[in-house]
Structure 1
Amino acid sequence: MKNCLMFCLLVVSFLSVNCSNSDNNQLNNVITPEMLEAKKAEVMTLINNASCNGTCNYIAFGSKPCGGPKEYLLFSSAVNLAQLEDLVAEYNEMEHQFNIQTNAISDCAVVLPPNTIACVDGSCMIIN
C-alpha cells in the first residue's frame, strides 16, 4: 500500500511539473512586436552593409495572415546569401507565429515580386 501511494505521488508530481514546463514554454514562445523589429533590423543591417556591384536580387519578406509575403526586399549579390536566407526565414516564421497569436487579419492581396531590378548608384532599385 505504501509503495502504491508513493507511486501515485510520484506520477502526480511528474504530471504537475510537465504542465508547468509546457506553460513556461508557451510563455517563452510569445512573439512581441519588439522581437519582430529587432529581427527586421538585423536583416536590414545585413542588406544595407553591402553595396551592389552590378547584380541585384530579391527575397520574399514577411508573412501575411492570409499567406504569402508582405513585401520583397532587394539586395546585392555581395550579401552573404545563406545568412540572409536564414535571417529572413527566422523573421518570416516569427511573424507567422505573431499573426496566429494576435489573430491578425489582412487584405489578402497577393504581393508580386519586382519585374526588373538593377544596381543604380550603388543601390538596388526596382526599374519600371
Structure 2
Amino acid sequence: MKTKMNRLLTFICILTAFISLLLIGCNNNDIPFDSNNLLKGVWAKAKHNGETITFKRVKSLPEKEYGVAFNDANIFIQKTSGFCGTPPLTFYDDKGTYNADKVLIKVQLDNFSGNFNWEIVSLTEKELVVKTALTEREKEHQELLKMYSIFHTIATSKTCENSNDWTYTNYGSKACGGPQGYIAYSKKIDVSGFLKKVENYTKAEDVYNKKWGIVSTCDIPPKPTNIECDNGVAVLKY
C-alpha cells in the first residue's frame, strides 16, 4: 500500500513539475525569428554608450536585467526595475504598444503618461542599436529650459552688494494658474530686455501647459517682502 502511495506521490510530483515547465515555457516571451522583420524578437544584454543602447538578440526576456520584446500585433514589453530603482532591484514587465519603420520606433506604454521614441542606428539578425529620439513634447520642454536658463543667467550675472540695487519679478505659468515663482534681478542690467525674456518664457510655458495637458498644484507661491545680499547673492525674503 505504501509502495503504491509513494509511486502515486512521485507521479504527482513529476506531473506538477512538467506542467510548471510548460507554463514557464508558454510565458517566457519567446518570439520566433522572422527574417522579414528583424526588429521582432527579444533583445537584452543592454550596453549604454553615451546616447546609444546596444542590445543583443536573446531567446526570452531576462528575469533580473533590462530587456525589451517586440511581439506580433505591435505588442511591446520591457523588463524593467523602473526609473528610480535602488538595490535590491525588483524587475517587472511593463507593457504597451509600438509602431516602427526602418528609422524610428515609437513606443506607448500602458502604465506611463507619455511615450518614448528610439531612432534605429543599426539592426542586424543578432544586434539592435538605438538612441533616444526626442518627442515633440520633449523638444518643446527643452526649449523652455533653454529660455529659463537665459534669463536666470542674466538675473544672477551681478554681485549683490546693496539690496537697494535689486528688485524682483514673477516668472512662469503654473498649469493651475498663477506664476511658478519669483526671481531677483539687479537694476543695473538691461531691465527691459530681461523682463521681455521673462515675459516670453511665461507665455511659452502657458502654451506648453495647455497643449500637453500639464497638471500642477494650485497653491499660490508667496510674494517676497524684501531682498537681502548674502555673500554676493541676492536672496528673496518672505
State the 1:62 CA deviation.
Answer: 0.7
Provide TM-score, normalisation by structure 1: 0.70
**Conserved? CA contact 1:61–1:71, under 8 Å:** yes
> Given the alignment, which residue of 105, 115, 123 partners 2:225?
115
**Shift, 1:75, TM fit:** 1.5
Q: What corresponds to 1:32 in structure 2?
A: 140
Larger radius of gyration: 2
Q: Hey, what does 1:93 align to over in structure 2?
A: 203
Tell me if 1:64 matches 2:174.
yes
- Aligned-partner Cα distance in 1 for 2:237–2:153: 23
Mapped to 2, the partners of 1:77 and 1:119 lie a distance apart of 14
Aligned counterparts of 2:144 and 2:229: Cα–Cα separation in 1:
28
How many angstroms does 1:104 deviate by? 1.1
Confirm whether residue 104 of structure 1 aligns to residue 187 of structure 2. Answer: no
- After TM superposition, the structure 1 stretch with the greater mean CA deviation from structure 2, 71-80 or 84-93, is 71-80
How far apart are residue 120 of structure 1 and its match? 2.6
- Corresponding residue number in structure 1 for 2:130: none
| Identical-pair percentage | 23
* Structure 2: gaps of 5 or more residues: 1-138
Moved over 3 A (4+): none
* Structure number with higher relative contact order (C-alpha < 8 Å, ≥ 6 residues apart): 1
Aligned residues: 99
Q: Which moved more, 1:77-86 or 1:116-125?
A: 116-125
The separation in 1 between residues aligned to 2:166 and 2:229, in whole angstroms, is: 6
Per-residue CA distance 1:54-113 (angstroms, 9 max, x = gap): 122111011001211011011222222101110000000000000011111111101121
Alpha-carbon distance in 2 for matches of 1:117, 1:59: 12
What are the Cα deviations for residues 13-61 of structure 1, in whole angstroms up to 9, with x where unaligned? xxxxxxxxxxxxxxxxxx7111101101111111121222412211101
- Pair 1:84-2:197 in alignment: no
> Which structure's residues are more often helix, by fraction?
1
Give 1 or 2: higher strand fraction.
2
Structure 1: gaps (5+ residues) = 1-30
CA distance in 2, matches of 1:112, 1:81: 23
When residues 77 and 119 of structure 1 are mapped into structure 2, their CA distance, relative to the original with a 3 A threshold, is: farther
Paired letter, 1:74: A
Preserved CA contact (<8 Å) 1:67 1:108:
yes
What do you get for the CA RMSD once the two structures are aligned? 1.8
Residue 52 of structure 1 aligns with an amino acid whose one-letter code is C
1:75 matched to 2:185? The reply is: yes
